[in-house]
Chain A
């Protein structure tokens, strides 16, 4: 467990990740963005499907999280609210399978606020490191 490197998949909209992406991989590393968080950029988090997040778990993720605009200030009006509901559905599905629902999370962040974007990744990294490998990866436990 001590040398466990979590596999974390982040799904973020263009707007919340703008500044972060402008920083480039080197910049991100310098700012403390964990290496094990893989960024997936999508035009709007409202487009994200429950099945995409579940497939990430099937594919070996230890956790997934979504970063969208503030609930009342989404660039596409309701996109981030929809994403939050779908993350809620994934949390419920994880609980149904007796897996910690905290392995899925939704963050609502202001557009282009880079330190907060990094902080979300750091928080997920800390959380998942403490929880250990996802039980779906049974054999690695």
Chain B
């Protein structure tokens, strides 16, 4: 899922300074699961905005809402239910959600309440880690299911580098060297042989360096 983290309150208050009626809009998707922008976080942020404005002696009306997803047109359309009640939307979804509101609601002011961090998962309660970088040309079949694009600091295709020490990455002792993990794992499953092949120079054209990417599924377009 997409992992996000709430922005500092003062940054949010600054975005909202010209507005009197704010719709704090959560998303029931990824950001609910990673506890950054679901119903519960909407309630907390709405409270913080009201408290912050009270402290500054300002009046602000905060409306709270959460929709199924902010990355689908049909759900964005459901923002109509608050029509006329807000003069700005503070989206707690990932950047996709904010973009979708901006795309589909041309005259709505929309602001991001979270920093969209990465694609990851949670193996331990309250801790999320990056697992995939969405490179558009997955090579996990060569690497035992462990991603060197997202999890190697240098995104090496033939690793590890000379900085790997005791199974740790040279950028930080807390970071496991994913190439060490790849070698260990392939050895465990008796497929280490496949690492003797040198991976060719990789084309990164699918990774977003050629502009915004798009997926079209013809069978679904009617």
With A49-B40, A96-B9: A135-B47 Cβ-Cβ less than 8 Å: no
Count A/B pairs, Cβ under 8 Å.
41
- In the assembled complex, which residues on chain B have CB atoms less than 8 Å from the CB atom of A55? 47
In the complex, the answer to whether A50 meets B9 with C-beta atoms within 8 Å is: no
Choose from B8, B10, B55 the contact partner of A99 (Cβ within 8 Å).
B55
Distance in angstroms between the alpha carbons of A58 and B48 in the assembled complex: 9
List CB contacts (< 8 Å) of A112-138 with chain B.
135-138
* A39 CB within 8 Å of chain B: no
Which of B8, B10, B54 is most buried by chain A, counting CB atoms within 10 A of its CB?
B54
Distance in angstroms between the alpha carbons of A49 and B47 in the assembled complex: 12
Distance in angstroms between the alpha carbons of A137 and B57 in the assembled complex: 9
Residue on B with the closest CB to A85?
B126
With A54-B51, A136-B55, A138-B55: A97-B9 Cβ-Cβ less than 8 Å: yes
Residue on A with the closest CB to B56?
A138
In the complex, the answer to whether A96 meets B44 with C-beta atoms within 8 Å is: no
Residue on A with the closest CB to B47?
A54
In the complex, the answer to whether B40 meets A93 with C-beta atoms within 8 Å is: no
In the complex, the answer to whether A96 meets B10 with C-beta atoms within 8 Å is: yes
List CB contacts (< 8 Å) of A46-90 with chain B.
49-51, 54-55, 57-58
* B50 CB within 8 Å of chain A: yes
Distance in angstroms between the alpha carbons of A55 and B40 in the assembled complex: 13
Contact residues on A (Cβ < 8 Å of other chain), bracket: 10 to 19
* B144 CB within 8 Å of chain A: no
In the complex, the answer to whether B9 meets A93 with C-beta atoms within 8 Å is: yes
User: How many whole Å from A129's CB to the nearest CB in chain B?
Assistant: 20
In the complex, the answer to whether B51 meets A97 with C-beta atoms within 8 Å is: yes
User: How many whole Å from B205's CB to the nearest CB in chain A?
Assistant: 42
In the complex, the answer to whether A51 meets B40 with C-beta atoms within 8 Å is: yes
Distance in angstroms between the alpha carbons of A98 and B43 in the assembled complex: 20
In the complex, the answer to whether B47 meets A97 with C-beta atoms within 8 Å is: no
List CB contacts (< 8 Å) of B8-56 with chain A.
8-10, 40, 43-44, 47-48, 50-52, 54-55
Choose from A49, A50, A58, A139 the contact partner of B51 (Cβ within 8 Å).
A58
With A55-B47, A138-B57: A97-B52 Cβ-Cβ less than 8 Å: yes
16 A-B pairs whose Cβ atoms sit less than 8 Å apart in the complex: A49-B40, A50-B44, A51-B43, A54-B44, A57-B51, A58-B54, A93-B44, A93-B48, A96-B10, A96-B48, A97-B9, A97-B48, A97-B55, A136-B51, A138-B54, A139-B57
